[in-house]
Structure 1
């Protein structure tokens, strides 16, 4: 399917997940495995996966996945069963994920930064029957008595207590992949859990197929593309936006085990990378490399980013360094199976800090606290709808009922739409500051600070004040020495006086994040209180 085919992305209204009516692509594969088999049929001998010394064609990757699927089926793992993938960015993740999906089982990718208590909760919450893990993480696995549903343990590196993953590759390939329905769950991805226990978002085949088709259409992805994944494959961006988008377009997936700016630039050059998606801090780290100009990155055409707005200073620096590169902001969440809005080619730096327009099959609604639509330009909570929005949370009907209304997912973000349908996201509802009656969006202050050449990342939190209610305090991760006075003066030239931070915590270490990579402002608030804030 090519975006040059006028009918390839035709849309129609359809009913899904009970009471939802959403726009859908009328011509689409009905499952992830069907998407894979189509790519194998037309691109069988082309390179599909590059990870260190491992290089597999689409036919070889498909064969390996079917062998894993057959081995799991022989162990009575089948349709609907949950298999945890506690794997870093490595070839085994890709092979295992496609193998599990081939038998109709559900993958549960988990961050390798998770600890034993969290793993115990996740294993039991999803009722996992098996886990495939990095050997180095074996000691973190909960004991059998604490996770009784886990019947099988497989390790990608030799270790005691788990079967070798290599054994799964020795079976004859699966002859009959499971018959899947579009609304069947393909993956359970646990949300960040910044408050309370994580919730398992149920991503269906319908959700994922539409997300990857959105990327294909908006980014113009095709078989010539070579996508690099440097964010965790266990995250929705790594899994859907990069790995499964590559399955859809038939290009090649370049897997980087761990991001380091110099290593990334070297890999991007040697593998002729054409596209990737990273967080803005990764772009900033690349720009800080003194020898960035020596790398031949002429093939790099798409630079996606998300998780935070890209500072205008970074956009201009990237444009200067890489004039052929198109930056694309993709805004979404686990609950939207990746993108809900995307900027279009040419938007970067021209639409302020907008996160773009709704994806072709999606809708964005801005509502007040009573759930009433607000007019253009007014700020309220962002609600998102479309075939990419998950059907709910695993075994959690109360959370599902509280987070979805008429097919719209309540994002918890505060934003507004302009007359052209471009969305601006100002803050998380719970992170907005109120200083003496003045509302302050922490994102605005953070974006100014990360434009300073010494700042890698910044996070604003409210410092309790008996007079004003809150004052602006900022935690800064700095790449080089910088003083509070310098940063305050930098902000004063660019922000209204009431928005200028009145307190700073400057450190060289990265700011705290949870296993999914989300910034933990809760921890920062606690640090501030302990310090006498």
Structure 2
């Protein structure tokens, strides 16, 4: 079985040939053309000194160029480090420093921002020697002296040898996920693990070559990268990457291109169902939707399955549970009723085990433990955090509280951590608090997630100090991705704490 990403890319080119791999406003890229373009960019990476095992940061929105750049990194033997397209220059600089990345691909001008200048102004980046432009896929040497001149003697045979040398157990990617300490952690996955996640999801979803897959889930996230790009390579399905979600444009795209697959957070489907633009649209091509990342109302699943015009008429709607440290853990199956799909995350997928710590019978709650082939190799340069997350028997301690029913269906009921989910993105209050404590006039702060009809949850910051709400929000927007920015600020004279000094966030939520 093909167990490296370069091998899968080659096989896709041979098997699917001129069948479209990626379709964007810029045109159509076939599987054969995708492979050829990846070879060209991988050659350029080697010319600019990329060493086997070296980290490369890719910072930009969904696009065909993002996919080419990411695949070229692994083809040349490098390690992919995706960065959230909404990150600030400070946040990406932190990733570069911690991974010692020599190359950064970026989409300068995305959302009207100056990514290149923001990154270079964020602080010293001694490892950075090359900047890549995602718009043109060109690489440019970087440094005070202009950087080292690219090699001129790189041959196609050398690049193919690089791809041949990649092994199934080599690290393919490092996806950063925040923790309760406020410092992000880089979850490392081997090639075989990233491909196993994609293969499992595709098989359970019944993805086919003739599927037209609308990818709204961001490529910087495992759902967009592994369950998007890699699924497309494994199955031959055609991907339609979307940089930013607009309900009207999405409806037009589904109708015009006869989209069949549309996975995403519940908010995406809610937006489609309530959009005035939906009237008269033909969405009958949709056949598979996979959702999760938040509690899903039963009525939403029913409406997604209901025929048009009352519903979306999607044949198969399933929910799943995964995390950066273990991409696909549980998943519903074809034939599960709306109640099961909406109130559970399905059963363990092949190759994965789940159990509730301390539970003796079905229905008992406790911490969810996960074990299997998709559990990460560990956290980058953080043996202590790895040991705390994965025990000696290989069980990943997720920090989520859940229960299993008599059929093995998982329901997440609470979080041991304070994480909340806003618009499908995980937000860790400790990380936000670390940033806000640097805001002038903030003496103390605590952030909690509060319910929101549209986003699922949003942040509320409880602030002690003289900084106004406008001051706090402006500072947050300058230093954090937009989904992490609290939407509301409440001033308190003091934060409620227990005798040990821990903030009583349950008390704050009750406010």
1:172-198 Cα distance to aligned partner (Å, 9 max, x none)? 754432412211110111003464110
SS in 1 for 2:338: coil
1:379 Cα deviation from its structure 2 partner: 0.2
Query: Could you tell me which residue of structure 1 aligns to residue 465 of structure 2?
Result: none
Find the aligned partners of 1:389 and 1:358 in 2 and give their Cα distance.
13
Write the mapping of 1:296-335 to structure 2, written as runs, cut at 5 A: 296-320=282-306, 321-335=311-325
SS at match of 1:339: strand
CA pair 345-518 structure 1, distance change in 2 beyond 3 A: farther
Q: How far does residue 518 in structure 1 lie from its aligned partner after superposition? A: 6.7
**Residue 60 of structure 1: CA displacement?**
0.4
Is the 1:36–1:247 contact (alpha carbons within 8 Å) kept by the matching residues of 2?
yes
Which residue does the alignment assign to 2:5? 32
Distance 1:397 1:73, change over 3 A: same
- Match for residue 452 of structure 2? 476
Q: CA 1:409–1:37 in 2, change beyond 3 Å: closer, same or farther?
A: same
- Deviation, structure 1 residue 78: 2.6
Distance change in 2, residues 1:528/1:72 (3 Å): same
Q: CA RMSD in A?
A: 3.4
Which shifted more, 358-367 or 261-270? 261-270
Matched, 1:96 2:63: no
| SS of aligned partner of 1:294 | coil
Hey, what does 1:436 align to over in structure 2? none
> 1:140 matched to which residue of 2?
118
- Pick closer, same or farther for the CA change 1:425–1:110 going to 2, 3 Å: same
Q: Tell me the equivalent position of 1:280.
A: 266
Structure 1 residue 531: Cα displacement: 11
Distance 1:160 1:359, change over 3 A: closer
Equivalent residue for 2:344?
A: 354
Partner of 1:482: none
* 1:516, distance to aligned residue in structure 2 (A): 7.8
Could you tell me whether the CA contact under 8 Å between 1:183 and 1:204 is conserved in 2? yes
- Give the 5 Å matches for 1:163-174: 174=159
1:331-346 superposed matches below 5 A: 331-336=321-326, 338-346=327-335
Q: Given that residues 229 and 239 in structure 2 are in contact (C-alpha distance below 8 angstroms), is that contact kept between their aligned partners in structure 1? A: yes
User: In the aligned structure 2, how far is the partner of 1:205 from the partner of 1:313?
Assistant: 39
Partner secondary structure for residue 183 of structure 1 = coil
| 1:430 corresponds to 2:417 | yes
Conserved? CA contact 2:197–2:226, under 8 Å = yes
Q: Distance in 1 between matches of 2:265 and 2:132?
A: 31
Residue of structure 2 aligned with 1:151, choices 129, 147, 152: 129
In structure 2, relative to structure 1, the CA distance for the partners of 1:518 and 1:192 (3 Å cut) is farther
SS at 1:276 equivalent:
coil
Q: Tell me if structure 1 keeps the 8 A contact 2:286–2:313.
A: no
| Counterpart for residue 74 of structure 1 | 47
TM superposition shift of 1:36: 1.4
Secondary structure of 2:378's match? coil
Compared with structure 1, are the counterparts of its residues 322 and 157 closer, same or farther at alpha carbon in structure 2 (3 Å cutoff)?
A: closer
How big is the shift at 1:378?
0.3
- Partner of 2:385, secondary structure, is helix
Contact kept, 8 Å, 1:393 with 1:399, in 2: the verdict is yes
| Contact 2:59–2:82 under 8 Å retained in 1 | yes
Residue range with higher mean Cα deviation, 414-423 or 343-352: 343-352
- Work out whether residues 93 and 123 of structure 2, in 8 Å CA contact, stay in contact via their aligned partners in 1: no
The two structures have a TM-score, normalised by structure 1, of 0.74
Residues 330 and 349 in structure 2, CA contact (< 8 A), matched pair in contact too: yes
Conserved 8 A contact 2:298-2:339: no
Asked if 2 retains the 8 angstrom alpha-carbon contact of 1:374 and 1:380, the reply is no
Contact 1:309 1:329 in 2 (8 A): no
Q: 1:160 to 1:531 in 2, by over 3 A?
A: farther
Task: Determine the C-alpha separation between the residues in 1 that align with 2:355 and 2:117.
Answer: 46
Secondary structure in 1 aligned to 2:213?
A: strand
Distance 1:31 1:67 in 2: 19
Name the residue aligned to 1:21: none
User: Post-superposition shift, 1:476?
Assistant: 2.8
CA contact (8 A) 1:189 1:202 kept: yes
Query: Deviation of residue 296 (structure 1)?
Result: 1.8
